[in-house]
Amino acid sequence: MKRISAFLMAAVMVFSLAACGTMSQEPETSRSETEAVQSTVSSEETEDLNAVLSEAPENFVLITGGTFEMGSPDMEGWRSEDETQHTVTVSDFYMSMYEVTQTEYAEVMGNNPSSFSGDALPVENVSWLDAVAYCNARSELEGLTPAYAIDGQTVTWDRSADGYRLPTEAEWEYACRAGTVTPFNTETSISAEEANYYGHYPYEIEENYFSQGNLDTQPGEYRQTTVEVTSFSPNGWGLYNMHGNVSEWVWDYYGAYSAEEQRDPTGPETGTLRVYRGGGWNDFAKNMRSAYRAAMAEDKGSFNIGIRLVKNAGNGAGSVVSTGTENTESAGGKVLIAYFSWGGNTAGIAEEIQSQTGADLFEITLVNPYSTDYNTVLDEAQRDQNEQARPELATHVENMDEYDTILLGYPNWWASIPMPIASFLEEYDFTGKTIIPFCSHGGGRFGQSLTAIAKLVPDAVMGEALSVHYSGGDSLPDDITEWLESNGILE
């Protein structure tokens, strides 16, 4: 597709937004704006405009390329070190207004792996490999050239293909921001009336838990489920649920950003983790920020990760080859149960695991323990997370080399790991070992704790994690047995 004028691109956006319903509340204004565009655009540009619009797949909008600052500024609350701000330019592309629904996925793939059930709910519990396979299968059904060639751990992206694909990390953030530079594309501290997330925990509540009058957005509803993909208002470019509902896989392997200015970056050529963006129904607001980066092994799925499709809007060229760092290790060998516990719930889970496995038990303790007062420890925990502190450990594993599998337990604190877990993971070399997390929680399941672990030990194998509500209740022994069997610890 040939390049067209900036004015014409603005005209395309008017048509696109009108088509996707973002102007539906003001029909007369929408009509007058469209007529004004038609009367101003030249006949040649009108032909180009009609061509662009006719190429757009149903329920997709044209995202006009441009330059933006990717990542987050140093002063943004709850930013991570991997969000280094840098200048990026992206080319035009089409993006789906909605996350892929369960109906759409099942019609193409013949199955529905989702944890929640509903035709118009987003498909979830899909791995990155499932996502690229879906892109190819849907492309073939619609007579398009598949974007990907998959050969084991190597996936090659044909950038000239007209089929469906995943957005790059840069394309995703550019589209999510829709021209904004604030933590969320709402330009305010996003509320539970604007997105589907763990609404009890709006942005920056961590440091304002006992003084909520200081918050820009007050705590709201926690739905504990996904919602239909058409829910809430779209962002400024007509895209729904870019924050919350389900996170969305992108093309890139996880890695450090380049400090240099980039055009259409595609991420590292190799890696162990793929990036997903946007946050899900069980995430705190801080982990839905436009710049927040989550990561997981490409063969793993989760109840809060789904798919949003994109498609080329121009003639791409070349190919991108990405090769995963294959790790053939599996759970087995000598097993260590290592856990950090504050209130006793995680310790009780660890002890039940030990009784079923006979594995060695190791408690992670601190030189300077956290307060025994609940309100005080809430402050201490968020302080350490915000500072990415590494508390000094009082206990150490003297023979870590002997263990092949580590069952790692912790409470979900502020939607992530307690920082003593980070201290523990950084103390040893886990290359080639299998880490199988278990987590006690009060409603948010794992939060982003699995991402935090994966980033700290990218060369370890991550097993299937177990989330336990508080102490687990009467079903705990059976739940643990099933989990151990699924990970090959018990036969």
> Which uninterrupted H or E stretch holds 483?
helix 476-486
Q: What is the mean pLDDT of the chain?
A: 90
Amino acid 333: pLDDT: 83
Examine the domain organization and report whether 71 and 36 are in the same domain: no
For 55, the 3-state DSSP assignment is helix
Residue 491 within any structural domain of the chain? no
Question: Residue 8's domain spans which residues?
Answer: 1-55
Residues in the chain: 491
Amino acid 431: pLDDT: 94
pLDDT in tens, 271-285: 999 999 999 999 999
Binned at pLDDT 50, 70 and 90, residue 177 comes out as very high
pLDDT in tens, 332-380: 689 999 999 999 999 999 999 999 999 999 999 999 999 999 999 999 9
Task: Give the CA distances from residue 331 to residues 118, 439, 457, 475, 489, in Å, rounded to whole numbers and listed in that order.
Answer: 35, 18, 16, 24, 7
Share of the chain above pLDDT 70, in %: 87
Is 465's pLDDT higher than 80? Answer: yes
Examine the domain organization and report whether 401 and 470 are in the same domain: yes
Is 47's pLDDT higher than 60? Answer: no
Residue 361 within any structural domain of the chain? yes
CATH number at residue 463: 3.40.50.360
**Residue at which a domain ends, from 296, 324, 352:** 324
Examine the domain organization and report whether 359 and 309 are in the same domain: no
Amino acid 45: pLDDT: 55
pLDDT in tens, 88-141: 999 999 999 999 999 999 999 999 999 999 999 999 999 999 999 999 999 999
DSSP 360-378: EEEE--BSSPPPSSHHHHH
Examine the domain organization and report whether 90 and 224 are in the same domain: yes
Tokens matching residue 78: 């709850």
Is 327's pLDDT higher than 60? Answer: no
Contacts of 338 (CB under 8 A, 6+ apart): 362, 363, 364, 397, 406, 407, 408, 409, 424
Amino acid 56: pLDDT: 77
Examine the domain organization and report whether 86 and 179 are in the same domain: yes
pTM to 2 decimals? 0.87
Residue 441 within any structural domain of the chain? yes
Examine the domain organization and report whether 226 and 114 are in the same domain: yes
CATH number at residue 84: 3.90.1580.10
Task: Give the CA distances from residue 376 to residues 221, 272, 372, 382, in Å, rounded to whole numbers and listed in that order.
Answer: 25, 38, 8, 10
CA distance 432 to 155: 23
* CB distance 327 to 459 below 8 Å: yes
pLDDT in tens, 383-412: 999 999 999 999 999 999 999 999 999 999
Tell me how many domains the chain contains. Answer: 3
Amino acid 451: pLDDT: 96
Task: Give the CA distances from residue 223 to residues 199, 281, 283, 414, in Å, rounded to whole numbers and listed in that order.
Answer: 8, 8, 11, 18
